[in-house]
Amino acid sequence: MFVQETLRPFFDLPEGNQEEFERFLAARINYLVGNDFPSLVNILYRIDVSELKVKQVLKDHPDADAGSLIAALIIERMLAKAQSRDNFRPNSPIPDDEKW
């Protein structure tokens, strides 16, 4: 759910289950590839998806749907960010007298 909530504003996606979300995301990415590539590059930069990874995946799978491949990279990156946040979240709340 975190991934959908975070990505929905970037790609103007409707709500739906995971399968629908991935399909809409791939379709939206394909649209941006063909019609507004600079916006896609900007979004990938803001989400922190490696340009090298995108190029490598597209090179390794030339016959696959680019939107689906890029969507998978985006989802993978968002899940990694969520995992990282969970790993570095404090175990106990900070007492009020220690907060800034």
pLDDT band at 1 (very low <50, low <70, confident <90, very high): low
Q: How confident is the model at residue 10 (pLDDT cuts 50, 70, 90)?
A: confident
End-to-end CA distance of the chain: 31
Residue 44 burial by Cβ neighbours in a 10 Å radius (0-12, 13-18, 19+): buried
Q: What is the DSSP annotation of 13-35?
A: PPP--HHHHHHHHHHHHHHHHHH
Query: What global pTM score does this model have?
Result: 0.77
What pLDDT sits at residue 26? 95
Q: Write the pLDDT tens digit of every residue in 47-90.
A: 999 999 999 999 999 999 999 999 999 999 988 888 887 777 76
pLDDT, tens digit, for every residue of 36-59?
999 999 999 999 999 999 999 999
DSSP 97: G
- As a whole number, mean pLDDT of residues 8-22 equals 78
